[in-house]
């Protein structure tokens, strides 16, 4: 499937059962729900998907499951990052062979940072596959800082890069710098749970690739930005900001619990060594949802 990397590409959770095994039934339920609410694509095996806690066999099963569940309705982008370049390439080739429409890749941290090694990693992956590469710029999780000139060089010289997932704070000025400096057009999708979503869209971001548990909100924000209804964009962002902020706590436990409350996964379990919520945080989740959303049925698509 040809993929246009604009709009909303939610990062999906990877559900686990009480024994810590991948829960494919819940995973497929999440994938189908996302397609039904009108997202532009889905992204699996990202940070929210706990990709760093998966073995290759589990990755393969999840890719197969996602592609079967969407049944051609939307493209599937697969996170294939690994600490080794050849391993990243191998995972990317596996994703392509299984039918993925694109891969999301970030370079790995080295004891001595070296811009050329970063460039070579992304170049090797992009030249080794025929599907688009989303270059993820997320130093919080990777501890790799890619300055704007390096990203612009990669855009200019690596034709397989089709999108930048921009998550290096502060994101708005970096988005402007990237758009102004590009020699060819690639899209920019932002993440960080939509924490700076309004400001990213006002700077020209083409949408979101993030794990916020209510993609319906992100869809409404992108639509308002496309139609240049900036007051409406600000109103939607402001209305849901307390939930966006609460979800964006370190780790994935809060977000997985909200997915569970939405009826999309059976358990909010986080795979070890990831931590679960403490009791007080768990008590706060329904209160925050109630204060922001009111008495809506969380299991139904949210009307924004």
Q: How confident is the model at residue 2 (pLDDT cuts 50, 70, 90)?
A: confident
List pLDDT tens digits, range 85-134: 999 999 999 999 999 999 999 998 888 888 999 999 999 999 999 999 99
pLDDT score for 35: 96
pLDDT one-digit tens code per residue, 122-176: 999 999 999 999 999 999 999 999 999 999 999 999 999 999 999 999 999 999 9
**CATH architecture classification, 7-249:** Alpha-Beta Barrel (3.20)
Per-residue pLDDT band for 277 (boundaries 50, 70, 90) equals confident
Catalytic residue numbers, as ranges = 165
Distance CA 289, CA 298 (A): 9
DSSP run (H or E) holding 284? helix 279-293
User: For the residues of 37-49, what is the DSSP string, one character each?
Assistant: HT-S-EEESSTTT
pLDDT at residue 191, as a whole number = 96
d(CA 41, CA 31) in angstroms, rounded, equals: 10
Q: Long-range contact list for 18-23, CB < 8 A, 24+ apart?
A: 18/267, 18/269, 20/269, 20/271, 20/272, 22/58, 22/61, 22/62, 23/265, 23/266, 23/267
Distance CA 44, CA 124 (A): 22
Using DSSP bridges, classify how beta strands 7-8 and 161-166 pair: parallel, antiparallel or unpaired.
unpaired
Nearest residue to 191 (alpha-carbon basis) of 304, 82, 48, 41: 48
Mean pLDDT, the chain, whole residue set: 96
Structural domain boundaries in the chain: 7-249
């Amino acid at each position: 499937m040809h993929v246009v990397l604009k709009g909303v590409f939610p990062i999906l959770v990877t559900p686990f059962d009480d024994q810590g095994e991948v829960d494919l039934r819940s995973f497929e339920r999440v994938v189908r729900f996302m397609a039904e609410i009108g997202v532009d694509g889905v992204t699996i095996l990202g940070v929210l998907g706990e990709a760093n806690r998966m073995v290759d066999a589990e990755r393969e099963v999840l890719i197969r499951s996602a592609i079967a569940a969407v049944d051609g309705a939307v493209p599937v982008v697969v996170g294939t990052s690994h600490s080794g370049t050849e391993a990243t390439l191998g995972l990317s080739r596996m994703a392509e062979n299984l039918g993925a429409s694109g891969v999301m890749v970030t370079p790995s941290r080295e004891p001595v940072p070296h811009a050329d090694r970063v460039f070579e990693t992304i170049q090797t992956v992009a030249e080794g596959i025929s599907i688009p590469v989303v270059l993820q710029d997320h130093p919080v999780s990777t501890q790799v800082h890619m300055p704007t000139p390096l990203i612009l060089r990669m855009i200019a010289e690596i034709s397989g890069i089709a999108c930048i997932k921009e998550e290096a704070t502060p994101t708005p000025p970096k988005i402007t710098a990237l758009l102004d400096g590009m020699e060819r057009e690639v899209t920019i999708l932002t993440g960080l749970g939509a924490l700076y979503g309004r400001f990213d869209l006002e700077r020209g971001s083409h949408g979101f690739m993030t794990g916020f548990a209510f993609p319906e909100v992100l869809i409404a924000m992108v639509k308002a930005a496309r139609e240049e209804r900036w007051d409406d964009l600000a109103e939607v962002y402001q209305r849901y900001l307390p939930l966006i902020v609460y979800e964006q706590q370190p780790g994935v436990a809060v977000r997985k619990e909200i997915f569970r409350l939405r009826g999309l996964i059976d358990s909010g379990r986080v795979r070890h060594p990831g931590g679960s919520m403490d009791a007080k945080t768990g008590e706060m989740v329904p209160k925050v949802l109630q204060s922001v959303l009111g008495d809506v049925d969380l299991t139904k698509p949210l009307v924004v």
